[in-house]
Amino acid sequence: MRLNNSKVLSLIGLATKAGKAVSGEFLTEKSIRSGKAHIVLAAADASENTKKKFRNMCSYHQVPIFFLENKETLGKAMGKEARALLAVQDENLAAAIKEKMEA
């Protein structure tokens, strides 16, 4: 996972610049429930309640969820401050991220 992380982070940056990524608990939840989210990325250091809530929600709505190191890494990839959650709303970028995460 460590090897492909820089590629995943650059894809997150690309999705953000393209306006195809939303972050934060509220917007991520809205994106999942509306069917716009194709993949959810969460920080491994997010609270256990948050991780459980989004694991269950993603499972129910059949959206893949992956965990990255920490909030700072996730935020930096988006060019923002620390973020615990983000959803990618572009099918192709989400597929590319999923491929890198599973490699």
pLDDT at position 103 = 83
Q: Where are the domains of the chain?
A: 5-102
**Contact yes or no for 31/22 (Cβ under 8 A):** yes
Who wins on pLDDT, 102 or 4? Answer: 102
H or E element, residue 85: strand 85-88
CATH class of 5-102: alpha beta
Q: pLDDT (tens digit, 9 = 90+) per residue, 40-91?
A: 999 999 999 999 999 999 999 999 999 998 999 999 999 999 999 999 999 9
Q: Does 21 score more than 50 pLDDT? A: yes
Considering the entire predicted model, what is its pTM? 0.93
Question: In the structure, what pLDDT confidence band is assigned to residue 34 with cuts at 50, 70 and 90?
Answer: very high
- Dihedral class, residue 100 (left if φ above 0, else alpha if ψ from -120 to 50, else beta): alpha
pLDDT at position 2 = 45
pLDDT at position 1 = 38
pLDDT at position 12 = 95
Which residue type sits at 33?
Answer: R
H or E element, residue 61: helix 48-61
Q: Using alpha carbons, list the distances in angstroms from residue 44 to 17, 23, 35, 36, 54.
A: 24, 15, 24, 23, 12
